[in-house]
Amino acid sequence: MAVKTTVTPGLIFRQAGFNLSPRVDQVGIEERAARFTKRSIKKETKVNGLMLALNMIDLTTLEGKDSEGKVKQMCYKAMHLLDTYPGLPTVAAVCVYPSMVKTAKKALEGSGVKVASVATGFPSGQEPHSVKISDTKFAVQNGADEIDMVISRGKFLEGEYNFVFDEIASIKEACGEARLKVILETGELVTYDKVRRASDIAMYAGADFIKTSTGKVTPAATMPVTLVMLGAIRDFYFSTGKKIGMKPAGGISKSKLALHYLVMLNEILGEDWMNNHLFRFGASSLANDLLMQLMKEKTGVYQGKDYFSID
């Protein structure tokens, strides 16, 4: 009797040495990305977009100087973006280091705001495998709903795709119920071809989200790099039926840019992705700019920074 093995797209991808990712033409993808910025978003579409963007934010603090006090303040802001503006959503999650997960979890209890924790030796990822696993498990045990891991860029650039794949798969296992966001650190991968391949590896290895950047490397998220990743998510969906989330992080601090991203999402993946289950902005200062714009739309008056709390 011949043994019938199930050939999954992931296995095919791996067997092919991770060489099946389509190529990306830089000029073409940048032209396409620029095209989204030509959409003119006005009136109710704009208000809806600003609200949605707020609701998609992973409010983030990832500093050596982070303290419990700082995290608590941020969590309060996450739940109370602008109390003078009724009907505002909360952000999607707060994103902190593992050591702050417990604090954040407690502060956010009952709010529906998720706790995301970076792990696996953020931001460089240059830690032993065992440390990465225990880092992840620690965060999950402390109540993290989501884990933002970094891939081993060094290994990826060496062509050790199996290593990268296996590492992601093992972290996914360590996550248990927590959703896994895989940070590619696209600024270190440099070319769109590599971004596309890393996206595919991450998704086939079990990522629930793919994420551009740690925020510690320039360039962080850009529209073209996000477009490459959205394209990968779309192809993955048609290969597996699974919907993977997208998180551009770093460098998105203005409402106008956030709206451009949403237009891009809307026209590449469609409305199924237009929610914070499948799309996030990794950002800290974006929230206030969105609030300022919302107030401007509401009052018709241009706003000043001092009227919005900076937590």
Q: Annotated catalytic sites, by residue?
A: 148, 211, 247
Site string for another protein, 117-156 (x = CB under 8 A): ----------------------------------------
158 binds another protein (CB under 8 A): no
Based on its alpha-carbon atoms, the radius of gyration of the chain, rounded to whole angstroms, reads 19
Q: Which residues of 221-246 are buried (b: 16+ CB within 10 A; e: fewer)?
A: bbbbbbbbbbbbbbbbbebeeeebbb
9 binds another protein (CB under 8 A): yes
Stretch that binds another protein, among 9-17, 166-174, 208-216, 250-258 (CB under 8 A): 9-17
Cβ proximity to another protein: between 57 and 228 the closer is: 228
Stretch that binds another protein, among 31-39, 139-147, 163-171, 280-288 (CB under 8 A): 31-39
Which residues from 178-207 bind another protein, rule CB under 8 A?
Answer: 190-192
- Cα-Cα-Cα-Cα dihedral of 227, 228, 230, 234, to 10°? 130
13 binds another protein (CB under 8 A): yes
DSSP 159: T
Cβ proximity to another protein: between 79 and 274 the closer is: 274
Residues 83, 84, 87, 90, CA torsion sign: negative
User: Contact with another protein (CB under 8 A): which of 3, 4, 6, 42?
Assistant: 42
Half-sphere exposure of 221 (CA within 13 A, CB side): 29
270 binds another protein (CB under 8 A): yes
140 vs 178: CA distance, rounded Å: 7
Cβ proximity to another protein: between 170 and 266 the closer is: 266
Residue pointed to by tokens 């990306």: 24
Site string for another protein, 205-244 (x = CB under 8 A): --------------------------x--xx-xxx-x---
14 vs 73: CA distance, rounded Å: 45
308 vs 31: CA distance, rounded Å: 36
What is the residue-wise DSSP string for 271-301? GGG-STTTB-EEESSHHHHHHHHHHHHHHSS
Q: What does the binding site for another protein look like in residue numbers (CB under 8 A)?
A: 7, 9, 11-13, 15-17, 20, 22-29, 31-32, 38-46, 190-192, 231, 234-235, 237-239, 241, 266-267, 269-272, 274
